[in-house]
Structure 1
Protein backbone atom coordinates (compact mmCIF):
# COMPACT_ATOMS: atom_id res chain seq x y z
CA UNK A 1 0.00 0.00 0.00
CA UNK A 2 1.39 3.39 -1.00
CA UNK A 3 1.76 6.23 1.47
CA UNK A 4 1.43 9.86 0.35
CA UNK A 5 2.50 13.10 2.02
CA UNK A 6 2.25 16.65 0.74
CA UNK A 7 3.70 20.02 1.62
CA UNK A 8 4.76 23.42 0.38
CA UNK A 9 7.58 25.85 0.99
CA UNK A 10 8.81 29.26 -0.05
CA UNK A 11 11.91 28.85 -2.21
CA UNK A 12 14.27 31.27 -3.95
CA UNK A 13 17.77 31.08 -5.34
CA UNK A 14 20.46 33.60 -4.47
CA UNK A 15 23.20 31.27 -5.74
CA UNK A 16 24.71 30.81 -9.16
CA UNK A 17 23.36 28.05 -11.35
CA UNK A 18 24.28 24.58 -10.04
CA UNK A 19 26.30 22.86 -12.77
CA UNK A 20 28.41 20.28 -10.91
CA UNK A 21 26.61 16.98 -10.35
CA UNK A 22 26.53 15.87 -6.74
CA UNK A 23 27.26 19.33 -5.31
CA UNK A 24 24.18 20.02 -3.16
CA UNK A 25 25.71 22.78 -1.02
CA UNK A 26 23.15 25.35 -2.26
CA UNK A 27 20.10 23.10 -1.79
CA UNK A 28 17.45 23.47 0.92
CA UNK A 29 16.60 20.50 3.17
CA UNK A 30 12.89 19.61 3.44
CA UNK A 31 11.77 17.16 6.14
CA UNK A 32 8.59 15.14 5.69
CA UNK A 33 5.85 15.78 8.29
CA UNK A 34 6.34 12.14 9.36
CA UNK A 35 9.13 9.82 8.16
CA UNK A 36 8.17 7.07 5.75
CA UNK A 37 8.78 3.50 6.98
CA UNK A 38 12.41 2.32 6.94
CA UNK A 39 13.29 0.55 3.69
CA UNK A 40 10.66 2.45 1.67
CA UNK A 41 11.42 3.78 -1.78
CA UNK A 42 10.16 7.38 -1.91
CA UNK A 43 9.59 9.61 -4.94
CA UNK A 44 9.06 13.38 -4.77
CA UNK A 45 7.16 15.46 -7.35
CA UNK A 46 7.63 19.26 -6.97
CA UNK A 47 5.52 21.92 -8.69
CA UNK A 48 5.96 25.70 -8.77
CA UNK A 49 2.68 27.23 -7.53
CA UNK A 50 3.30 30.93 -8.24
CA UNK A 51 4.60 33.17 -11.04
CA UNK A 52 6.57 35.91 -9.28
CA UNK A 53 9.63 36.07 -11.54
CA UNK A 54 9.71 36.31 -15.34
CA UNK A 55 12.31 33.55 -15.88
CA UNK A 56 11.38 29.87 -15.69
CA UNK A 57 12.52 28.26 -12.42
CA UNK A 58 13.81 24.76 -12.98
CA UNK A 59 13.53 22.61 -9.87
CA UNK A 60 16.22 20.14 -8.85
CA UNK A 61 15.61 17.42 -6.25
CA UNK A 62 18.39 15.40 -4.62
CA UNK A 63 19.07 13.03 -1.71
CA UNK A 64 15.52 11.68 -1.31
CA UNK A 65 15.30 9.56 1.84
CA UNK A 66 12.51 8.28 4.07
CA UNK A 67 12.98 11.45 6.19
CA UNK A 68 13.03 14.15 3.49
CA UNK A 69 14.82 15.56 0.45
CA UNK A 70 16.94 18.41 -0.88
CA UNK A 71 15.54 20.99 -3.31
CA UNK A 72 16.67 24.11 -5.17
CA UNK A 73 15.76 26.32 -8.07
CA UNK A 74 18.14 26.10 -11.01
CA UNK A 75 16.82 28.65 -13.45
CA UNK A 76 16.33 27.24 -16.93
CA UNK A 77 18.72 28.51 -19.60
CA UNK A 78 16.94 30.65 -22.14
CA UNK A 79 17.62 30.61 -25.89
CA UNK A 80 18.51 34.31 -25.59
CA UNK A 81 21.38 33.61 -23.20
CA UNK A 82 22.56 31.80 -20.12
CA UNK A 83 20.73 32.10 -16.82
CA UNK A 84 22.61 33.36 -13.77
CA UNK A 85 20.78 30.76 -11.64
CA UNK A 86 19.15 33.34 -9.37
CA UNK A 87 15.37 33.43 -8.96
CA UNK A 88 12.92 35.38 -6.79
CA UNK A 89 10.85 33.67 -4.12
CA UNK A 90 8.10 31.35 -5.31
CA UNK A 91 5.79 28.89 -3.58
CA UNK A 92 6.66 25.27 -4.36
CA UNK A 93 4.22 22.48 -3.58
CA UNK A 94 5.35 18.85 -3.43
CA UNK A 95 3.89 15.36 -3.28
CA UNK A 96 5.92 12.46 -1.87
CA UNK A 97 4.87 8.84 -2.18
CA UNK A 98 6.21 5.38 -1.63
CA UNK A 99 6.43 3.19 -4.72
Structure 2
Protein backbone atom coordinates (compact mmCIF):
# COMPACT_ATOMS: atom_id res chain seq x y z
CA UNK A 1 0.00 0.00 0.00
CA UNK A 2 1.40 3.40 -1.03
CA UNK A 3 1.48 6.37 1.26
CA UNK A 4 1.29 9.86 -0.31
CA UNK A 5 2.01 13.34 1.07
CA UNK A 6 1.93 16.72 -0.64
CA UNK A 7 3.14 20.21 0.12
CA UNK A 8 4.36 23.49 -1.27
CA UNK A 9 7.01 26.05 -0.41
CA UNK A 10 8.37 29.40 -1.50
CA UNK A 11 11.80 28.85 -2.99
CA UNK A 12 14.47 31.17 -4.36
CA UNK A 13 18.16 30.75 -5.02
CA UNK A 14 20.71 33.50 -4.45
CA UNK A 15 23.70 31.17 -4.86
CA UNK A 16 25.67 30.22 -7.99
CA UNK A 17 24.78 26.97 -9.73
CA UNK A 18 25.30 23.80 -7.72
CA UNK A 19 27.86 21.92 -9.82
CA UNK A 20 29.66 19.66 -7.36
CA UNK A 21 27.94 16.33 -6.79
CA UNK A 22 27.07 15.74 -3.16
CA UNK A 23 27.53 19.39 -2.07
CA UNK A 24 24.06 20.27 -0.78
CA UNK A 25 25.18 23.26 1.32
CA UNK A 26 23.00 25.65 -0.73
CA UNK A 27 19.89 23.43 -0.67
CA UNK A 28 16.77 24.05 1.45
CA UNK A 29 15.61 21.31 3.82
CA UNK A 30 11.94 20.26 3.52
CA UNK A 31 10.47 18.06 6.25
CA UNK A 32 7.45 15.88 5.53
CA UNK A 33 4.38 16.71 7.65
CA UNK A 34 4.46 13.10 8.86
CA UNK A 35 7.58 10.94 8.46
CA UNK A 36 7.13 7.88 6.27
CA UNK A 37 7.62 4.48 7.95
CA UNK A 38 11.26 3.50 8.53
CA UNK A 39 12.68 1.28 5.81
CA UNK A 40 10.37 2.50 3.03
CA UNK A 41 11.62 3.87 -0.28
CA UNK A 42 10.34 7.39 -0.94
CA UNK A 43 10.20 9.36 -4.20
CA UNK A 44 9.63 13.12 -4.48
CA UNK A 45 8.21 14.84 -7.57
CA UNK A 46 8.46 18.66 -7.50
CA UNK A 47 6.90 21.17 -9.93
CA UNK A 48 7.20 24.94 -10.14
CA UNK A 49 3.71 26.43 -9.73
CA UNK A 50 4.42 30.07 -10.68
CA UNK A 51 6.13 32.06 -13.45
CA UNK A 52 7.84 34.99 -11.70
CA UNK A 53 11.26 34.95 -13.36
CA UNK A 54 12.00 35.01 -17.10
CA UNK A 55 14.39 32.02 -17.06
CA UNK A 56 13.47 28.41 -16.36
CA UNK A 57 14.01 27.44 -12.70
CA UNK A 58 15.55 23.99 -12.94
CA UNK A 59 14.86 22.03 -9.76
CA UNK A 60 17.39 19.81 -7.99
CA UNK A 61 16.40 17.31 -5.30
CA UNK A 62 18.85 15.58 -2.95
CA UNK A 63 19.00 13.46 0.19
CA UNK A 64 15.47 12.03 0.09
CA UNK A 65 14.75 10.15 3.33
CA UNK A 66 11.65 9.00 5.19
CA UNK A 67 11.75 12.35 7.06
CA UNK A 68 12.19 14.81 4.17
CA UNK A 69 14.39 16.00 1.32
CA UNK A 70 16.60 18.86 0.15
CA UNK A 71 15.71 21.11 -2.79
CA UNK A 72 17.10 24.08 -4.71
CA UNK A 73 16.73 25.92 -8.00
CA UNK A 74 19.55 25.68 -10.52
CA UNK A 75 18.36 28.25 -13.03
CA UNK A 76 18.48 27.06 -16.62
CA UNK A 77 19.47 29.67 -19.20
CA UNK A 78 20.49 28.83 -22.73
CA UNK A 79 22.89 30.85 -24.83
CA UNK A 80 26.47 32.00 -24.76
CA UNK A 81 26.20 33.68 -21.36
CA UNK A 82 24.96 30.53 -19.64
CA UNK A 83 23.29 30.68 -16.26
CA UNK A 84 24.45 32.17 -12.99
CA UNK A 85 22.19 29.73 -11.11
CA UNK A 86 20.23 32.43 -9.27
CA UNK A 87 16.45 32.62 -9.51
CA UNK A 88 13.68 34.78 -8.02
CA UNK A 89 11.12 33.39 -5.58
CA UNK A 90 8.63 30.90 -7.00
CA UNK A 91 6.06 28.58 -5.47
CA UNK A 92 7.07 24.92 -5.75
CA UNK A 93 4.55 22.15 -5.15
CA UNK A 94 5.66 18.60 -4.42
CA UNK A 95 4.22 15.14 -4.02
CA UNK A 96 6.02 12.37 -2.15
CA UNK A 97 5.10 8.69 -2.18
CA UNK A 98 6.39 5.35 -1.04
CA UNK A 99 7.25 2.90 -3.80
What is the TM-score normalised by the length of structure 2?
0.98
Q: Deviations over 1:24-64 (max 9, x none)?
A: 00000000000000000000000000000000000000000
2:29 maps to 29
1:87 maps to 87
Aligned residue pairs, count: 99
Give, in whole Å, the separation in 2 of the partners of 1:80 and 1:16.
Answer: 17
Q: Deviations over 1:58-89 (max 9, x none)?
A: 00000000000000000113134210000000
Give, in whole Å, the separation in 2 of the partners of 1:78 and 1:35.
Answer: 38
2:73 maps to 73
Give, in whole Å, the separation in 2 of the partners of 1:35 and 1:92.
Answer: 20
What is the TM-score normalised by the length of structure 1?
0.98
Which structure dedicates a bigger proportion of its chain to strand? 2
Unaligned runs of 5+ in 1: none
Give, in whole Å, the separation in 1 of the partners of 2:81 and 2:22.
Answer: 25
